[in-house]
Amino acid sequence: MCHQSVGLVAGVLERSGLATVMLSCLAEVTEKVRPPRWVDLPYPLGFPVGEPKNPDLQRRIVEAGLDLLTAEGAPPLRRRFEASQF
């Protein structure tokens, strides 16, 4: 889906009481939309959870997103997933 659309939907869901986390491969778009929580990923479009057939990397990405749900601070919250993490 489009990063802008997902970010806008996340904002609506948050205002309705549902916590959200967005995985983003396009930081420049996501920064403008400012969803409540997002993980900034260093991967190209089409690979939001990193390289295929790498479940350890994919698990770490999902865990980084889930950690944002309990992170300190008020939204918007952003976490950069460093390429060195794979």
pLDDT in tens, 23-71: 999 999 999 999 999 999 999 998 988 889 999 999 999 999 999 999 9
Residue 67 DSSP code: H
- Name the band, by pLDDT with cuts 50, 70 and 90, for residue 84: low
Token pair of 60 as six digits:
């770490």
Name the residue type at position 18: L
pLDDT at 86 > cutoff 80: no
pTM: 0.85
pLDDT at 85 over 90: no
Q: Is the pLDDT of residue 75 over 50?
A: yes
